[in-house]
Amino acid sequence: MLRVGRRLVHTSGPKTLCYVSQSTDPYTNLAFEDWLLRNTDPQSYVLYLWRNRPTIVIGRNQNPWKECNLDMMQKRDVLLARRTSGGGAVYHDLGNTNYTVLMPRQAFSRDRCALMVAQALQQADIPAYVNARHDVAVGERKVSGSAFRLTSSRAFHHGTMLIDADLARLNGCLRSRHADAIEARGVDSVRSAVANLRDYSWAIDHDAFCTAVRRQFDASFGPVHDMPFDAAANTEMKDRIRTWDWLFAQTPDFVHRLD
Amino acid sequence: YTESHEWVRIDGDTATIGVTDYAQNALGDVVYVEVPEANTEVEAEDVVGIVESVKSTSDIYSPLSGTIIEGNANVVANTKLVNKSPEADGWLFKIKFSDKEQLDALLDATKYKQLIEDGH
């Protein structure tokens, strides 16, 4: 047994694990990710693959009024979620697949898993690489956004992968009318030109991407054990992260000039 | 020092805590800091704050149990202080600690240097 903070965690058993979500609810999926962070062996490497129904996911320290067009999101039935990692706002729909890799803190580097994902895409004949901002790109376009979370014993890297997402809807929702009128502490998104993998490969889809990443993960970290997904694993967090308090009140201090 | 790369300066029953130069270098440019509020009761190993740098959120831990005296408002307003002066002006919080024995678990400068050299 290993003492992690004040909890005891079983350390025997396989060290390379893969979980695939069966839910498209962003709060369930984010809560499960947090559950993995807190409950899997700190020495293990864990791959988690998940997809959400249309959602804008902002970074922990962002301002939703500044980052997204909340009116348009409501009209188009796009949810808002706030994750616990840093970085900027991203758009999720069923044409976007998310990957999370959890690893021991001392093994962490921002490019390690991005390179793994780029290699997985190269195996699928897509000439992907990792750019200076630790994102996976093809040519001049970003196809994936990355963010990270670090605790004393563990780290995770999670990223989006635009496979066949609705980019027009993405642009509309990530353009706030209030951006110029808000002065805020907190973190602003850095905008980049994006593309779907579909622009580079007619064969790539969610299943093909998951298979390629899982294969590369297995090659990088050792024989993978597939584990069951439990949508009810972390209902306390799931309920907390859909409240107004977390989504809006968590925002760093800001001033909105109304002219 | 702690294994999670914080330094602890003791003054009577008060401790000032921040992240080490090694930590700020590993973190990269700090863009956001959250520090604990005065009068918060904390236990050792509790998460008391967050630092964001290069799209990463890192937890800040209290190495000691006690009551928070003050979080450094300067660092919250000017996050670059953590990078420029991590072991002086970039301090994160002050705590009135309740258990002197917890100090024994901290690392001295030599042990901390060893920890960094061993690659943690």
Residues in chain A with CB shorter than 8 Å from the CB of B45 are: 5-6
Tokens 């509309």 found at: A172
- Whole-angstrom distance, CA of residue A82 vs CA of residue A248: 9
**Contact status, residue A173 vs residue A91, Cβ threshold 8 Å:** yes
Could you report the per-residue pLDDT of A55-67, keeping only the tens digit for each?
Answer: 999 999 999 998 9
| Mean model confidence pLDDT for chain B | 93
Could you report the per-residue pLDDT of B53-97, keeping only the tens digit for each?
Answer: 988 999 999 999 999 999 999 999 999 999 999 999 999 999 999
Q: Which residues contact A176 (CB under 8 A, 6 or more apart)?
A: A65, A66, A67, A68, A69, A70
The whole-number pLDDT of residue A246 equals: 94
* Contact assignment for B55 to A59 by CB distance below 8 Å: yes
Chain A residue with Cα closest to B47:
A151
- Tell which phi-psi region holds residue B22, choosing left (phi > 0), alpha (psi between -120 and 50) or beta: alpha
Helix (H) or strand (E) holding A216: helix A206-221
Total residue count of chain B as it appears in this document: 120
Whole-number Cα distances in Å, B114 to B2, B109, B118: 12, 9, 6
Residues in chain A with CB shorter than 8 Å from the CB of B59 are: 150-152
Q: In what order do the strands lie in the sheet with B47-53?
A: A225-227, A16-20, A45-50, A98-104, A154-159, A146-150, B56-61, B47-53, B30-34
For a pLDDT cut of 70, what percent of chain A falls above it? 94
Interface residues of chain B, partner chain A, Cβ below 8 Å? 3-4, 31-32, 34, 43, 45, 50, 52-59, 61, 76-77, 119-120
pLDDT band at A11 (very low <50, low <70, confident <90, very high): low
Q: Looking at the predicted structure, is the pLDDT value of residue A14 above 70?
A: no
From the list A106, A152, A252, which residue is nearest B32 (CB)?
Answer: A252
Å from A106 to nearest chain B CA?
6
| Mean model confidence pLDDT for chain A | 90
**Contact status, residue A171 vs residue A193, Cβ threshold 8 Å:** no
* Contact assignment for B55 to A252 by CB distance below 8 Å: no
How many other CB atoms sit within 10 Å of the CB of residue B84? 12
pLDDT band at A5 (very low <50, low <70, confident <90, very high): low
First-to-last CA distance in chain A? 60
The whole-number pLDDT of residue B51 equals: 95
Chain B residue with Cα closest to A62:
B32
The whole-number pLDDT of residue A52 equals: 97
- Would you list the DSSP string of B40-62? -EE-TT-EEEEEEETTEEEEEE-
Strands A2-4 and B66-71 come out as unpaired
Average pLDDT over residues B2-26: 93
Average pLDDT over residues A92-116: 94
- Whole-angstrom distance, CA of residue B93 vs CA of residue A90: 33
- Whole-angstrom distance, CA of residue B40 vs CA of residue B22: 28
- Tell which phi-psi region holds residue B39, choosing left (phi > 0), alpha (psi between -120 and 50) or beta: left
From the list B55, B61, B120, which residue is nearest A86 (CB)?
Answer: B55
pTM, 2 dp: 0.90
For a pLDDT cut of 90, what percent of chain A falls above it? 72
**Contact status, residue B107 vs residue B118, Cβ threshold 8 Å:** no
Check the CA dihedral A38-A40-A41-A42 and report its sign: negative
The whole-number pLDDT of residue B103 equals: 92
3-state secondary structure of A93: coil
Chain B residue with Cα closest to A250:
B34
- Would you list the DSSP string of A137-184? EETTEE---EEEEE-SSEEEEEE--BSS--HHHHHHHT--TTGGGEEE
Q: Looking at the predicted structure, is the pLDDT value of residue A226 above 90?
A: yes
Average pLDDT over residues A76-102: 95
Average pLDDT over residues A176-198: 81
The whole-number pLDDT of residue A183 equals: 76
> Which of B53, B56, B76 is the best residue to mutate to test the A interface, defined by the most A CB atoms within 10 Å of its own CB?
B56
Average pLDDT over residues A224-243: 95
pLDDT band at A259 (very low <50, low <70, confident <90, very high): low
Q: Which tokens belong to B16? A: 């000032």
Helix (H) or strand (E) holding B70: strand B66-71
Average pLDDT over residues A64-77: 91
**Contact status, residue A202 vs residue A235, Cβ threshold 8 Å:** no
